[in-house]
Amino acid sequence: MTVVIKIEALNKAYKNHQVLNNLHWEINQGDIVGLLGKNGAGKSTLLKGLLNLCDIDGGTITLFGEDHLNLSAQTKGLIGYVPQENDEISWLSVSDLIKFRKQFYTTWCDEKVHQLVKRWNIDLTKKIAELSPGQVQRVLIILALASKPALIIFDEPAAALDPEGRRDFLKEIIALASEEHITIIFSTHITSDLERVANKVAILEQGHICYFDDLDTTKENVVQLVISHKIDEKITVPYVLRSKQHPKYLQCVVSQLDPNWLSTMKNQGVEIHVTPMGLEDIFLELTA
């Protein structure tokens, strides 16, 4: 697997607040990563930092094997980015903005632009300032996709989109994901979107990636256990995240389900119910 992004010992602080703390992360080609994190966890800072859109205090970041501070024009052409906040020139019309952005890319796909503009009903004559936040978000997504990038980074792309827009956007990501070489990272709070699209999930907590694994493995591992036993019996559950003792049973959530432990317990006659959890619950448990 080719490593597309490699982050080592990344640090970033705003005044006295350490946002990213000795963060290590590696993303391979073809990964569709959903980045989760609480408000203010530093998701946007991480995404901006790795693209050199904000300065970092320490650490090294490489994109396609190049230092993120000195990316070649060719590598820059491989990257698409949809920011959380629109800072495009507000007085440009949509068509002018598209024209402006087109001149920087050799791989620009007009067909893609027309197709998405038509599908999303975007008025090309309108100025960016005159569009609704949802429409601006769609324009930004079009701009990011039009250059046919090999790495796309979306910073909360669906936040301003209506349900229809979100569905269309997810369809687009799924279509992109079907092309094997594309790598996508998107930060979001909407875990249902992530579940539909991502093949990996990362959780940013206390300045570092505290969890990064395949989505399916995550769902298999992070589960809720209900263990029926007598209250005077002492049971030790491995990888427990949270547990609550009830009169007749022990309820707990584990970050990893140990099959050996499970079979041992069953052999001992302990009744254990394994309940899968939704991604939203998994996120809440892992960051609790």
Provide, rounded to whole angstroms, the least separation between the CB of residue 45 and another protein: 13
Rule CB under 8 A: choose which of 127, 167, 196, 208 binds another protein: 127
Residue 129 binds to another protein (criterion: CB under 8 A): yes
State the nearest-atom distance from the C-beta of 54 to another protein, in Å.
9
List, in sequence order, every residue forming a beta bridge with 213; answer none if it has no partner: 201
| Backbone CA torsion sign across 257, 263, 268, 270 | positive
Q: Which is nearer to another protein, 63 or 250 (CB)?
A: 63
Please state the closest distance from residue 51 (CB atom) to another protein, in A.
6
Q: Report the C-alpha gap between 160 and 137 in whole angstroms.
A: 7
Distances (CA, A) of 272 to 24, 72, 207, 266, 275: 36, 56, 35, 7, 10
Burial-class residue 159 by CB neighbours within 10 Å (0-12, 13-18, 19+): middle
What letter does residue 264 receive in the DSSP assignment? Answer: H
Print the binding letters for residues 67-106 with another protein: x by CB under 8 A, - otherwise: ------xx-xx-x-x-x---xxxxxx---x--xxx-xxx-
CB nearer to another protein: give 83 or 165. 83
Contact call for residue 132 and another protein (CB under 8 A): no
CA distances from 141 to 14, 178, 272 (A): 28, 18, 46
Pairing of strands 32-37, 183-187: parallel
The contact pattern for another protein, residues 30-59, with x = CB under 8 A and - = no contact, is ------------------x--xxx-x----
Contacts to another protein by CB under 8 A: 48, 51-53, 55, 73-74, 76-77, 79, 81, 83, 87-92, 96, 99-101, 103-105, 127, 129
